[in-house]
A and B are shown apart, each in its own frame.
Chain A
Amino acid sequence: MTTSGYALPLPRSQPEWDFYWEKAKAHELWIMRCNDCNEAYFYPRAFCPGCHSRDTAWLRACGRGTLYAFSIVHRPPTPAFREAVPYVAAIVELEEGPRFPTNLVGVPFEPEAIKIGMAVEAVFEDVTAAVTLPKFRPAAG
């Protein structure tokens, strides 16, 4: 429930995902790992999508990764995004392995300036009093 005037879609509270968003609010990025096959995965579910084990646990991600795919969005996908374009829709491959849907921020909106494979790091945007969105920017150094 926001009164901040933030107009973009927000995640709705869901029992299995509250932990993830609480940690994001604390500026931490958490994913999950399977204790049987040891693969990390995202999005969180208490069940490994790789080997189907139920023996899973939360894992704090280091926040580093590489850009896997992106689009520079010019036409707003919904009316709510009219003031938000252009923006960079992105998928980041986290150092732990999983792919993470996000925005790439801190870059010019030029395809020449954005390279798949570039090193990126998490940055936490407190978009409302209740919700923080983990986003990514080019890694420092």
Chain B
Amino acid sequence: MAVRDLSGTVVIVGAAESDEIGVTANKSAMQHHAEAGLNALADAGLSLSDVDGLFAAGVTTLATAEYMGIRPRYTDGTSVGGSSFVIHVAHAVAALNAGYCDVALVTHGQAGRSARVRDAVGLDLAGPQFESPYGLIGPPINYAMACSRYMHLYGEERAREGMAEIAVATRKWAELNPKAMMRDPMTFEDYHASRWIAWPFHLLDCCLVTDAGGAVVLTRADRARDLPKKPVYVLGAAEHHDHQIISQMPDLTLTPAHDTGPRALEMAGLKHADIDLAMIYDSFTYTVLATLESLGFCGRGEGPDFVKGQRTAPGGDFPMNTSGGGLSYTHSGMYGMFLLVEAVRQLRGECGERQLDKCKTVLVNGTGGMLSSTGTAILAVD
């Protein structure tokens, strides 16, 4: 059997966030997990007792299953950063087709904003040994270094203009999303005037830090006929990673999406021009520039021209990150789940004010770690 043969065999039948997202000082990460899981199952017309395949990242599936009272016969704790949940979709396609499980629940929960305890890092690994002593710590600094390289190669001013376009356009979508954390209008002046976090990143180049959970439920397409919501077909899904720490990244301006994008599209039998909506992990404005190029929506160094003129904003001809993205809607830490949730809602036509007129196909691209891993999924409705 070829991977191509799996295209369209699995559907997402449920998708939801946790009960409240944003700043929820009264809730643990596990509560967000469980709420999101229950909400997604309710959305699917299913219950926890139907779940026999469990996928989670950040916390183990052991902890998640125990907390929720699930005893799965298929377990996948692949945890490669914020892209993990998009990668879980690929794994669920394989597991559901192989018969290892019938109902796959992918959950995420993180109290990125309010957690009282931070995870300890693996002190025996190369990052803490060779990068942390120099303060090469955390996504903003690491991604900023990659962005400096991009600016060197393709022009600082051009890159800056592209990053501003992305920040401003994404905020316009957030203004239309009642669940978004940042809904005040943002001008280009606001962007350029915002304080430095780690040059070349302004504050408004950086995603939010919120508390949130999200979940999706998948099953085989034949089973979805009995379920209430319009099934969202997984036409393509691919994963890749090529380093962990930033100093080991083969090319700071090319993300693993250069591999996962073409493979997911090929599996789906689609081309870039067939995509109605791009859901692109926007940990930083730069992440979007590098990802659009890596995916092949435009050539390398052409990202700033590609997003010019608010092309990705409401009314633009390349809608992107219609939820308001990690930049303005929510970003719990491992944001990739929320790309999937928004994709499903757009495909079902549930997005209210921000609903696209035409949305039959969505490309979802999660990026994890220090631009380390990507998962690309192509989702569609009939």
Q: Which residue of A lies closest to B125 (CB)?
A: A14
- Are B198 and A101 neighbours in the complex by a CB distance under 8 Å? no
Is residue A47 within 8 Å, beta carbon to beta carbon, of the partner chain?
Answer: no
Q: Is the interface of A mostly helix, strand, loop or mixed?
A: mixed
B133 close to A71 (CB less than 8 A): no
Q: Closest residue of chain B to A85, judged by CB?
A: B135
B200 with A89: CB separation less than 8 A: no
**Contact status B135-A68, CB under 8 Å:** no
Cα separation A106 to B203 with both chains bound (whole Å): 26
Q: Is the beta-carbon distance between B148 and A70 smaller than 8 angstroms?
A: yes
Q: Which of B126, B129, B134, B145 is the most central at the interface, judged by chain A CB atoms within 10 Å of its CB?
A: B134
Interface residue A26 (Cβ < 8 Å from any Cβ of B): no
A71 and B148 contacting across the interface, CB-CB below 8 Å? yes
Q: Evaluate contact between A100 and B247: CB separation under 8 angstroms.
A: yes
Which residues from chain A contact B247 at a C-beta distance below 8 Å? 42, 91, 99-101
CB-CB under 8 A from A116, the residues of chain B are 148-149, 152
Kindly list chain A residues whose C-beta atoms are within 8 Å of the C-beta of B141: 71, 73, 77, 89
Which secondary structure characterizes the binding site on chain B?
Answer: helix
Tell me which residues from 186 to 238 in chain B have a Cβ below 8 Å from any Cβ of chain A.
195-201
Counting chain B residues whose Cβ lies within 8 A of the other chain, the interface size class is 20 to 34
* CB <8 Å contact, B138 and A77: yes
In chain B, positions 117-160 with a C-beta closer than 8 Å to chain A are 123-124, 126, 128-138, 140-141, 144-146, 148-149, 152
Q: How large is the interface on A (under 10, 10 to 19, 20 to 34, 35 or more residues)?
A: 35 or more
A89 to B363, alpha carbons, bound, how many Å? Answer: 34
Beyond A87-B135, A100-B247, A101-B247, whether A71 also contacts B129 by CB under 8 A is no
Q: Can you list 10 A-B contacts (CB < 8 A)?
A: A10-B133, A17-B129, A42-B130, A42-B247, A71-B198, A71-B199, A81-B135, A89-B144, A101-B136, A111-B200
Which residues does A use to contact B, with CB under 8 Å?
Answer: 8-12, 14, 17, 42-43, 68-75, 77-78, 81, 84, 87, 89-91, 99-103, 111, 116-117, 127, 131, 133, 135
Nearest 10 A/B pairs, CB to CB: A71-B144, A72-B199, A101-B247, A77-B137, A116-B152, A69-B145, A9-B132, A77-B138, A74-B196, A69-B149
Chain B residues engaging chain A, CB cutoff 8 angstroms: 123-124, 126, 128-138, 140-141, 144-146, 148-149, 152, 195-201, 245-248, 252
